[in-house]
Amino acid sequence: MLGSFDAVLLARLQFAFTVSFHFLFPAFTIGLASYLAVLNGLWLYTKKQHYLDLFRYWIKIFALAFAMGVVSGIVMSYQFGTNWSVFADRAGPVIGAPMAYEVLSAFFLEAGFLGIMLFGRDRVGSTLHMVACLAVAFGTFFSAFWILSVNSWMQTPAGFSIDPETNQFMPEDFWQIVFNPSFPYRLAHTVTAAYLTTAFIVGGVGAWHLLRYKRRGDKPSQATKTMFSMAMWMATIVAPVQIFLGDAHGLNTMEHQPQKVMAMEGHFESHPEGWAPLYLFGIPNEETQTLDYAVGIPGLSSLILGHSFDAPIMGLDSIPDDEQPPVAIVFWSFRIMVALGFAMLGVGMWSLWARYRKRLYEAPWLHRAAVLMTPSGLVAVLAGWVTTEVGRQPYTVYGLLRTSDSAAPLEAAAVGATLVAFIVIYTAVFGAGTYYILRLMGHPPHTAEARYKDVVDGPTRTAGITPATEELMRRHTKEEE
Amino acid sequence: MPIAEGVSFDLTLAWAMLIALSVLIYVILDGFDLGLGMLFAVEKDRKNRDVMMNSVAPVWDGNETWLILGGGGLFAAFPLAYATILPATYIPVIIMLLALIFRGVAFEFRWRTERWKPVWDAAFIGGSTLAAFAQGMILGALLQGLDIDKATRSYVGGGWGWLTPFSLFVGLAVVFGYALLGATWLVMKTEGPLQERMRKRARVLSVITVIFIGLVSIWTPFLQDGYFSRWFTGFGIGLAVLVALVTLLMLALLQLTLRSGGEEVWPFILSLALFALCFVGMGVSMFPYIVPTEITIYEAAAPRASQLFMIVGASVLIPIILIYTGLAYWVFRGKVDPEKGYH
């Protein structure tokens, strides 16, 4: 049945494409929503102008990224049915409920308060406006909570039975379904990843402007310094935490999905006597089931995964061929993620050293490194996502429902045509959006930063700005001249 | 019919009502957003376009969320319906989703560029129109019924089963209906010459919409025997005549309130009521089927435990959602100031 295989493969490609594209936006906006709430809180508490400037600077970028996240997210809520109807029918009774909770507790909260957050400061007063900022931030977190619960259930299903008549998964215990074995680890690891993603984007933009101020021989604005400093604190503190969380998540995967870890580690052969090497490099060869040109540290894998050099580590040779995930993709994506994680840690420590020496804002090589690392969070998040999703193959519901049995009864031509449409439209539309975001980032945050919306069109309106800020603006203009 | 056991409360029916309600709320709320998007095509003045877009900018995202609740709720409460309707209407669903992407990003993008503003205005018009047309086609395809193989629990009607004269016709009907909603919304939210033009357009659009409603209503009973016997026998005839009279009364009231210098809020409320009436009428036709005429709501229902788990949250969260959605509309009430927008 070549035809049905093609349709399944195309459906998988389409889903992988739409979900990966979508994931980039929330990975950025989850952290950014919290950052905006913090900035707004700091502005209200300290009344220091540069916090308000930063808030206004980042909220324009947030609005663009959020809109792209929303429209690409609506696609996801229907792709389960259009592309994976058998999966939807079978797993719907279990995972439908948490997904409905995501809509009810997260999407409405975000959408309902976003308008007030963007447009409403003058209309509702600062207290309710702050509440709106917090509501949007919590909304993004609730969304991550529920969707990661669903994803984790597909990885480590629990709390269900199978109806012999319809083959549907039937809920037995929703507590076990929502808090399934891999969920706490995945939630902590993914949300932390989103925060780091935002930190490195904010830090990269800050570093870029610090370098530009330096090249022009100007003093950097307070807002620019503040955003770089805040981002580097996040990197310093959160990157080590993330490495710890990642390790815990890996051990949890080892317990519940051993063949995923085997693929991540490149362990084709078992080491029943222990001393399994940690492969740093190698070319996975699935034909011969070997890791070619392998460079490894003897015993380290046993030590990390089994906490002893003698810990036996089983390899893919203990797993039937039709139960194995594609090794090369998982092996490489895992390495990209880990390498970026350690690079983040490095930048965090470097900034701490520069801060200690009071040279945080005069360290051009640190700033260059931070600029280089701007997209590192996005890449790491995608690589991690690929590791866990491809590592779950050949199943949609791990060990229970195969991907090949999950697909909708669609014709390959229809899926292929819509796949092309998705690729063309996503590239054009989200490419344009990314360009607009980069253009906004290309300007440093100004004193009395323009509000949401009056950026391109006409002169910046000053209506509604307090006399104090007008004074600041005048001084700033003088400085620039 | 396996109705929920041991309780007097029919959970499946409650969920069917709840999903129907969220689809209705979606149709009404995003209906005027999309209709307003289509009216962009005839309002070429840039300032007027800014005013029109600003009238929904703070709320459109919340409006669209009801569509996700409709889809997500269907998935959760009636997984079999979700798993058959979406493959059956695959192409219009994808068209709708892609059109909504263009419509949605236009809200942000058109403020970020001067040179490309006409492009994103065109995306707003095209996306709104196509999304409305696709939604109508999906509705039409569903009303005319889907081919389901009950043994494999899957849709077997092929990739183009949705494409019929009827579904195209319903697509057009929804386009004009949404345009009417958009025009009456703008009568409420704008002033001066723009408002007067919208009155004129709404008068024409209301006539076209009611004609479409009439034709779809006459056509629908001939699609399925079940529909025919429900509307054209016994008690049904009386009901059909009553609905027709009420519709004509609404049209008359619309024309009356839309006259120059007339009411500002009533035209919008009347056009909402017109949509609600059509929606209830379709519900009467379809019940108890969720996929006419193959799968009833009881056959498609998720197990009781799932529905119960969700109804607990929904009964707390939906009232809260309605409160803060109402708050958002209240905050941005009144006319749009063409000078200030919302800043």
DSSP assignment of A349-396, as one string? HHHHHHHHTT-TTS-HHHHHHHHHTTTHHHHHHHHHHHHHHHHHTTEE
Q: Is A349 on the interface with B (CB under 8 A)?
A: no
Of A109, A410, A429, the CB nearest to B102: A429
- Indicate the range of A79-83, A430-434, B329-333 predicted with least confidence: A79-83
Q: What is the per-residue pLDDT across B80-116, written as a single tens digit (0 to 9) for each? A: 888 889 888 989 999 999 999 999 999 888 888 888 8
Q: Check residue A180 and report its DSSP letter.
A: -
Q: What integer pLDDT is reported at residue A119 of this predicted model?
A: 83
pLDDT band at A469 (very low <50, low <70, confident <90, very high): very low
* Structural domain span for residue B55: 11-342
Q: How far is CA A221 from CA A35, A36, A103, A466, in A?
A: 19, 19, 41, 20
Mean pLDDT, rounded, for A448-466: 46
Q: What integer pLDDT is reported at residue A181 of this predicted model?
A: 93
Amino acid, res. B315: S
Q: Residues of A numbered 364-423 whose beta carbons fall under 8 angstroms of chain B's beta carbons: which are they?
A: 408-411, 413-414, 418, 421-422
Dist CA A103 CA A105 (whole Å): 6
Q: What integer pLDDT is reported at residue B212 of this predicted model?
A: 93
Do the domain assignments include residue B66? yes
Q: Is A219 on the interface with B (CB under 8 A)?
A: no
Pick B127 or B282 by higher pLDDT: B127
Q: Is the pLDDT of residue A447 over 80?
A: no
Whole-number average pLDDT of chain B: 88
Of B90, B327, B343, the CB nearest to A454: B343
Q: Is A453 on the interface with B (CB under 8 A)?
A: yes
Q: Is the pLDDT of residue A466 over 50?
A: no
Q: What integer pLDDT is reported at residue A452 of this predicted model?
A: 65
Do the domain assignments include residue B5? no
Q: Is B53 on the interface with A (CB under 8 A)?
A: no
Q: What integer pLDDT is reported at residue A476 of this predicted model?
A: 44
Do the domain assignments include residue B80? yes
pLDDT band at B174 (very low <50, low <70, confident <90, very high): very high
Dist CA B278 CA B284 (whole Å): 10
pLDDT band at A458 (very low <50, low <70, confident <90, very high): very low
Q: Is the pLDDT of residue B62 over 50?
A: yes
Q: Check residue A428 and report its DSSP letter.
A: H
Mean pLDDT, rounded, for A336-359: 93
Mean pLDDT, rounded, for A404-426: 85
Residues in chain A with CB shorter than 8 Å from the CB of B51 are: none
Q: What integer pLDDT is reported at residue A305 of this predicted model?
A: 84
Q: Check residue B28 and report its DSSP letter.
A: H
Q: What integer pLDDT is reported at residue B252 of this predicted model?
A: 92
Q: Is the pLDDT of residue B216 over 80?
A: yes
Q: What integer pLDDT is reported at residue A367 of this predicted model?
A: 93
Considering A69-83, A112-126, A129-143, A297-311, the range whose residues carry the highest mean pLDDT is: A129-143
Cβ atoms of B209 and B250 closer than 8 Å: no
Phi and psi torsions of A218, nearest 5°: -95, 160
Do the domain assignments include residue B185? yes
Q: What integer pLDDT is reported at residue A5 of this predicted model?
A: 56
Q: How far is CA A2 from CA A7, A9, A220, A410, A411, in A?
A: 9, 10, 62, 14, 12
Dist CA B67 CA A67 (whole Å): 16
Q: What integer pLDDT is reported at residue A308 of this predicted model?
A: 83
Q: What is the per-residue pLDDT across A33-72, written as a single tens digit (0 to 9) for each? A: 999 999 999 998 998 888 988 999 999 999 999 989 988 9
Whole-number average pLDDT of chain A: 85
Do A436 and B100 count as a contact with CB atoms less than 8 A apart? no
Q: Residues of A numbered 157-186 whose beta carbons fall under 8 angstroms of chain B's beta carbons: which are they?
A: 166, 168, 170-172, 174
Amino acid, res. A461: R
Q: Is the pLDDT of residue A8 over 80?
A: yes
Q: Is B301 on the interface with A (CB under 8 A)?
A: no
Do A78 and B97 count as a contact with CB atoms less than 8 A apart? yes
Of A71, A81, A411, the CB nearest to B101: A71
Q: What integer pLDDT is reported at residue A163 of this predicted model?
A: 87
pLDDT band at A459 (very low <50, low <70, confident <90, very high): very low
Q: Residues of B numbered 308-327 whose beta carbons fall under 8 angstroms of chain A's beta carbons: which are they?
A: 309-310, 313-314, 317-318, 321, 324-325, 327
Q: What integer pLDDT is reported at residue B268 of this predicted model?
A: 94
* Number of domains observed in the structure of chain B: 1
Do the domain assignments include residue B26? yes
Do B83 and A86 count as a contact with CB atoms less than 8 A apart? yes
Q: Is the pLDDT of residue A158 over 50?
A: yes
Do A171 and B90 count as a contact with CB atoms less than 8 A apart? no
- For A72, the closest chain B residue by CA position comes to B101
pLDDT band at A203 (very low <50, low <70, confident <90, very high): very high
DSSP state string for B55-106: TTTTTHHHHHHHHHHHHHHHHHH-HHHHHHHHHHTHHHHHHHHHHHHHHHHH
Decide: helix, strand or coil at residue A294: strand
Decide: helix, strand or coil at residue A336: helix
Cβ atoms of A74 and A466 closer than 8 Å: no
Mean pLDDT, rounded, for B48-69: 88
Do A409 and B114 count as a contact with CB atoms less than 8 A apart? no
Dist CA B230 CA B236 (whole Å): 6
Amino acid, res. B333: R
Do A103 and B87 count as a contact with CB atoms less than 8 A apart? no
Q: Is B93 on the interface with A (CB under 8 A)?
A: yes
Closest CA to A15 of A97, A85, A107, A102: A85
Mean pLDDT, rounded, for A351-356: 92
Q: What integer pLDDT is reported at residue B167 of this predicted model?
A: 93
Q: Is the pLDDT of residue B338 over 80?
A: no
pLDDT band at A467 (very low <50, low <70, confident <90, very high): very low
Q: Is the pLDDT of residue B261 over 60?
A: yes
Q: What integer pLDDT is reported at residue A471 of this predicted model?
A: 45
Q: Is the pLDDT of residue A200 over 70?
A: yes
Residues in chain B with CB shorter than 8 Å from the CB of A429 are: 101-102, 105
Residues in chain A with CB shorter than 8 Å from the CB of B69 are: 100, 103-104, 107-108
Q: What integer pLDDT is reported at residue A289 of this predicted model?
A: 82
Q: Is A119 on the interface with B (CB under 8 A)?
A: yes
Residues in chain B with CB shorter than 8 Å from the CB of A425 are: 98, 101-102
pLDDT band at A251 (very low <50, low <70, confident <90, very high): confident
Q: What is the per-residue pLDDT across B309-326, written as a single tens digit (0 to 9) for each? A: 888 888 899 999 898 888
pLDDT band at A453 (very low <50, low <70, confident <90, very high): low
Q: Is the pLDDT of residue A1 over 60?
A: no
Of B105, B313, B321, the CB nearest to A68: B105
Do the domain assignments include residue B242? yes
Q: What integer pLDDT is reported at residue A451 of this predicted model?
A: 67
DSSP state string for A200-244: HHHHHHHHHHHHHHHHHTPPPPHHHHHHHHHHHHHHHHHHHHHHH
Residues in chain B with CB shorter than 8 Å from the CB of A63 are: 108
Do the domain assignments include residue B111? yes
pTM of the model: 0.86
* High-pLDDT (> 90) share of chain A, %: 39
Cβ atoms of A46 and A40 closer than 8 Å: no
Q: Is B94 on the interface with A (CB under 8 A)?
A: yes
Distance (Å) from the alpha carbon of A253 to chain B's nearest alpha carbon:
28
Distance (Å) from the alpha carbon of B82 to chain A's nearest alpha carbon:
6
Phi and psi torsions of A457, nearest 5°: -80, 115
Q: What integer pLDDT is reported at residue A411 of this predicted model?
A: 80
Do the domain assignments include residue B305? yes
* High-pLDDT (> 70) share of chain A, %: 92
Q: What integer pLDDT is reported at residue A40 of this predicted model?
A: 92
Q: How far is CA B268 from CA A2, B31, B181, B191, B275, in A?
A: 54, 12, 7, 15, 11
Pick B257 or A4 by higher pLDDT: B257
